[in-house]
Amino acid sequence: MSTTDDPRLEAARRALETALEAGGPAPALAELAEIAGLSPWHFQRRFTAEFGLSPKRYALARRTRILADGLARGRDVEGAVAEAGFGSSSRVYGRAGMLGMTPGRLRRGGAGETVRHALGQTRLGLLLLAATDAGVCSVEFGDRPEELLEGLRRRFPKAVIEPGGEREAMLLAAVVRAVEDGVGAEGLPLDLRGTAFQLAVWRALRDIRPGERLSYSELAARLGRPGSARAVARACASNPAAVTVPCHRVVGADGSLTGYRWGLARKKALLDKEQDGASGPR
């Protein structure tokens, strides 16, 4: 999970995670607030702004991750559910969307899924697109085909990874066109997996139009989460689908480019091309 530069909040977060990893209940809000040296109300507000989730939802996300790790190690569902501190497997199935797949499938490490890929050349280097039957699950810039494919295999270690066909070629062509011409690729179907907060940020990113730029704080405000700019920035940094989820359109409060998973040179090139298109003849 994420960390913070605030030692008080970090101490509370670690206490919460330690309790959950031991299989026990989450510490009460008042207990966590005392560790942070804040009132419960101020602690709840500060924690949510810093990590993007309330302490309660953070605990749920952490339990879900513990469950996912146990299932991926091959534990039976009931044993993994107990280890993660869920009361019953029925509660877990009700929250399967946070896992990205049902517990039974995750226990098999995603075995049975097929991820198809297509590789293309752009003005910004190689681009690898991968998709499941549900939609695009990964878009990565890189310099060497073997490194891009190895990264895809690490993300989906037990899925069938194979070259795509006409569908994947069409999806790739749409993303390449977005890179080359500065147009949007936000209409493509996606199959992304993340926490509830990450998914909310990624959805909001797709509402930023080509030529538009937002700061992290402005994006946080659009989400109805003013004050959570740092959590929004972390969600942008974990975006698995370049261009299709246009995190490059988010900049620092002073307009600086700040970070980008695929390099600041690529971020600047994407923004410049989109700006040219937005200011050109209609």
Tell the residue number behind the tokens 């991968």, with chain if given: 130
Residue from 77, 92, 205, 247 carrying the catalytic annotation? 247
Q: Token pair for residue 120? A: 């293309």
Report DSSP letters for 138-164, one per residue. Answer: EEEEES-HHHHHHHHHHHSTTSEEEE-
* Residues 35-44: contacts with CB under 8 Å, at least 24 apart: 35/8, 35/11, 36/8, 36/9, 36/11, 36/12, 37/8, 38/8, 43/12
Distances (CA, A) of 190 to 39, 86, 170, 171, 209: 41, 29, 14, 11, 17
**Alpha carbon distances (Å) from 199 to 1, 28, 174, 239, 270:** 15, 27, 22, 9, 23
229 vs 205: CA distance, rounded Å: 14
Element (H, E) at 13: helix 7-21
Give catalytic status of residue 236 as yes or no.
no
Q: Can you read off the two tokens belonging to residue 110?
A: 């995603």
Interatomic CA distance for residues 196 and 223, integer angstroms: 12
**Catalytic residue positions?**
247
